[in-house]
Amino acid sequence: MKSKAATETKNLKIGADLITIEQVKGDENLFRININNAFKGYVIRKNGEYSLTGQTPIPPVIYARIIDCVKNGLCT
């Protein structure tokens, strides 16, 4: 599997979970998502809409916080 290099990293702490959001180098519309250091998939931005790729389901509350962080910069 090819690995894409990441650039900017943002961290969210939700309860006991640490969510890491990394913008993929060379693609401002692709974000790598890790929860507790485990890769969960990518979030893709296309025409102002966001979608999640990957087979691992992310709980809706965590997904909403991820999108809020990526979209509005609210990563606290």
Task: Give pTM, 2 decimals.
Answer: 0.81
| Tens of each residue's pLDDT in the chain, 76 residues | 455 565 678 999 988 999 999 999 889 899 999 999 999 999 999 998 999 887 778 888 888 999 998 888 878 6
Look at residue 1 in the predicted model and tell me its pLDDT: 46
Look at residue 53 in the predicted model and tell me its pLDDT: 85
- Which residues on adjacent β-strands are paired with residue 35? 19, 38
Distance CA 33, CA 56 (A): 11
Distance CA 41, CA 3 (A): 12
Distance CA 40, CA 35 (A): 7
Q: Where are the domains of the chain?
A: 6-72
Look at residue 3 in the predicted model and tell me its pLDDT: 56
Look at residue 16 in the predicted model and tell me its pLDDT: 92
